[in-house]
Amino acid sequence: MDQTQICPRFEKGIQIASKRWACLIIYQLLEGPKRFCAMETALNISGRLLSERLKELETEGIVKRIVYPETPVRIEYSLTQKGLAFESILSAIQTWSQTWIEPDSI
């Protein structure tokens, strides 16, 4: 890695990964499409914050929101190809954590 100049794409990637909750939301969605309430419960996150993060991830092209015209309407969130590819980053964090995080430091 060449640190003298940070590539704007890399910096943007760091910015996305560093956004609080983003990694955990993507991790949840790697399981498959999810409804808002299910994510809210699983992550123990406020609705306002989850909604904000989902909108940001949608803008980044990582999450897609699908509206099923049923009664009542059903809305599901899932990962785009870009979002699915993010798994490689989460895997790297997982591998590093398993090797380097001491259980008694948590």
Beta bridge partners of 78: 64
Binding residue (CB under 8 A) for a copy of itself from 17, 38, 40, 45: 17
E-assigned strands of the chain? 34-35, 63-68, 74-79
Binding residue (CB under 8 A) for a copy of itself from 36, 56, 64, 90: 90
Q: Is 24 in the site for a copy of itself (CB under 8 A)?
A: yes
Distances (CA, A) of 74 to 12, 40, 48, 65, 90: 32, 16, 19, 10, 29
> Which of helix, strand or coil describes residue 75?
strand
Neighbours of 82 (CB within 10 A): 14
Looking at the Cβ atoms of 14 and 75, the one nearer to a copy of itself is 14
Which positions from 42 to 61 touch a copy of itself by CB under 8 A, shown as an x/- string? ------------------xx
Residues that bind a copy of itself (CB under 8 A): 1, 3-4, 6-14, 17-20, 22-24, 27-28, 30-31, 60-61, 82, 85-101, 103, 105-106
